Structures are given as structure tokens and as C-alpha cells.
């Protein structure tokens, strides 16, 4: 007499019978089809060396953009104080705009025939933006940290935009100028205005009196 285990195995075999071709093939491994740092030349009328140089620059910008994006999300979660609601929304808006830049930069790298960085460990190794503390900081320190990260990104983007222009890589120059630089400059403006020392309730009565106000 067949045991329950035997009967169960027979039932499973009947259920699986004839499904071999539709089963997913799991646990596959293979060599990389393109190693990182190598160019798969595409017919975009750019020299391979130009593509490689632009891709290297863009991967640095990508790593720093991803870091800045994540820094915004960190502060979005951890912001505190009487401006919580406004900054909570602003930080998330800037995070989303940086996330769009991440995709734009990565796609430009791929269109040059190169490989874009993607994983967190690789980003952490590459980014030159200082790592923040794990804990919560006061709002002025959060904003200052973001502004410093923006400045790092803008400095490298300007340098790399000039290099791309000199090499004739108009596409990379356009991404850096029209997308990266303009977005970061605008975000700097919105952030920096929060650090201007303006009274929240009263105007400066002494200055108003001396000016005849």
C-alpha cells in the first residue's frame, strides 16, 4: 500500500507533467556581455575616446546626483521644527527632480555605448559628496549640507560641460548644462532663501524709524 508521501509525489508529478517548456530557468550565471569602463561603439558620430571620457565624467556626476537625491529623502524624513511642513514638501520635490536627473544622466551614459553606475555600493565608493551622520540634524545644518552638496555637483558639472563642448560631444554638454546645472542652480536658490536671517513676525523697527518709515 502506497504511503501518503508517495501519493503526494505522484500527484505533483502529474501536475508538472508537460510543463517543462513553460517553467522559468532559474539560478543562471554568465559572463558580463560588457564590462564596466568599456565602450560598445554605437554609430553616433563620436570618437570612442570621446565617448569614454564623457561616460567617465557622467558616472561621477551620476554618483553625486544619486547621493544628493538620497540626502534630500533623508532630510525629508527627518526634518523638524516650525517649518516642518514646508520643508518636508520642498525636500521631496527636490528629491523627485534629482531622481529625474539620475535617469537622464544614466541614459546619456548608455547612449554613449558605456555602462552607468547603478548599485548603492558603487555609488558610495564613487561619490565625492561627504557622508552625513545617520542621526537627525537641525534644519539649518540640513540645508547647509544640501547647499554644499549642490556646490560640489555644480563645480564638477561646469568643468565637465566645458570638456564635452571642447571634445565636440554636444549631447553630453546639453545634458550637463540644460538639465544638471539649471536644475541644481534653481534648487540652490529655493534652499538658500531659508537661511536668510529675516524676522518671522516683526520688521526691524529701529531701521524703519531711522529711514523715516
At residue 202, the pLDDT reads: 80
Instruction: List CB contacts of 102: < 8 A, sequence separation 6 or more.
Output: 62, 65, 66, 69
Is the C-alpha dihedral spanning 129, 135, 137, 143 positive or negative? positive
28-78 pLDDT tens trace:
999 999 999 999 999 999 999 999 999 999 999 999 999 999 999 999 999
- pTM equals 0.87
**Residue 1 pLDDT exceeds 70:** no
Please state the rounded mean pLDDT for residues 113-136: 97
Instruction: Parse the chain into domains and list their residue ranges.
Output: 48-196
Please state the rounded mean pLDDT for residues 157-161: 98
Looking at the chain, the whole-number percentage of residues with pLDDT higher than 90 is 80
At residue 19, the pLDDT reads: 78
Please state the rounded mean pLDDT for residues 152-169: 98
203-212 pLDDT tens trace:
766 565 566 5
169-193 pLDDT tens trace:
999 999 999 999 999 999 999 999 9
The CA distances from residue 66 to 32, 62, 70, 115, 197, in Å, are 24, 6, 6, 16, 30
User: What is the residue-averaged pLDDT of the chain?
Assistant: 91
The runs of H, that is alpha helices, within the chain are: 4-16, 48-78, 84-111, 120-126, 139-167, 170-174, 182-192, 205-210
CATH number of 48-196: 1.20.1260.10
Amino acid at each position: 500500500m502506497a504511503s501518503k508521501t508517495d501519493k503526494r509525489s505522484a500527484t505533483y508529478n502529474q501536475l508538472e507533467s508537460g510543463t517543462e517548456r513553460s517553467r522559468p530557468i532559474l539560478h543562471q550565471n554568465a559572463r558580463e556581455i560588457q564590462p564596466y569602463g568599456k565602450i560598445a561603439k554605437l554609430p553616433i558620430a563620436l570618437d570612442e575616446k570621446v565617448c569614454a571620457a564623457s561616460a567617465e565624467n557622467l558616472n561621477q556626476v551620476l554618483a553625486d546626483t544619486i547621493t544628493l537625491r538620497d540626502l534630500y529623502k533623508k532630510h525629508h524624513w527627518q526634518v523638524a521644527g516650525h517649518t516642518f511642513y514646508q520643508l518636508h514638501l520642498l525636500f521631496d520635490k527636490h528629491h523627485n527632480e534629482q531622481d529625474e536627473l539620475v535617469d537622464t544622466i544614466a541614459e546619456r551614459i548608455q547612449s554613449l555605448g558605456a555602462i552607468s553606475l547603478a548599485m548603492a555600493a558603487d555609488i558610495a565608493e564613487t561619490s565625492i559628496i561627504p557622508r552625513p551622520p545617520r542621526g537627525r540634524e537641525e534644519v539649518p545644518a540640513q540645508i547647509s549640507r544640501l547647499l554644499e552638496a549642490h556646490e560640489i555637483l555644480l563645480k564638477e558639472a561646469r568643468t565637465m560641460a566645458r570638456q564635452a563642448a571642447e571634445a565636440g560631444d554636444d549631447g553630453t554638454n546639453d545634458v550637463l548644462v540644460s538639465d544638471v546645472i539649471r536644475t541644481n542652480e534653481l534648487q540652490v536658490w529655493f534652499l538658500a532663501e531659508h537661511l536668510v536671517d529675516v524676522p518671522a513676525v516683526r520688521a526691524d523697527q529701529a531701521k524703519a524709524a531711522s529711514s523715516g518709515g
